[in-house]
Amino acid sequence: CIIHLIRNTFKLSSKKDWDAMKRAVKPIYTAPTVDAARAALDDLTEVWGKKYGAIIRLWESAWEEFTPFLSYDPEIRQVICSTNAIESLNARYRRAVRARGHFPTEQAALKCLYLVTRSLDPTGEGRARWTMRWKPALNAFAITFHDRWPNAESY
């Protein structure tokens, strides 16, 4: 998983080097092609190889699992790499379910999760404008996974 790869990179480096490491690692996972990512990894090796050999070994050993990630559109990669929104939504779901304890029917549970999702609007007025930042990613998902994506009529 790309998230674990990035997180483990920072676990293996000193906190004082995090800013420089972030600037050195970002070109790898944002590279447009595998060759560009490899060049960025070579740059990382050149700059940090002696001080943080374990980080280089980490990236090298995960390279075969990492390269399919680069075949996705940038919008999909951004969703995969930035799990904050997903983790926040899951935390809100867990909090709502924990507060209620149990549900009499599956429909009641789904209604609860729907209402939690609708309440994500920062204005509290129930507007779904917060989803607008997901539109490019949704379009990329619909194109990439067209065989698994629901038809527009089912929205």
pLDDT at 16 over 60: yes
- The chain-wide mean pLDDT, for the chain, equals 83
Query: Which comes out higher in pLDDT, residue 32 or 1?
Result: 32
What's residue 88's pLDDT?
78
Nearest to 143 by CA among 152, 131, 155: 152
Q: What pTM value is reported for the model?
A: 0.64
User: In 35-79, which ranges are E strands?
Assistant: none
Q: How far apart are CA 27 and CA 81, in angstroms?
A: 13
Kindly report, residue by residue over 80-93, the tens digit of the pLDDT: 776 667 777 888 89
What's residue 23's pLDDT?
92
Angle between helices 84-100 and 106-118 (to 10 degrees): 130
Who's near 33: CB < 8 A, 6+ residues apart? 70
What does the CA dihedral 88, 91, 96, 102 come to, rounded to 10 degrees?
150
Kindly report, residue by residue over 112-147, the tens digit of the pLDDT: 988 888 777 666 555 555 556 677 777 888 888 888
Q: What angle do CA 147, 148, 154 make, to 5 degrees?
A: 105
Q: How far apart are CA 45 and CA 48, in angstroms?
A: 5
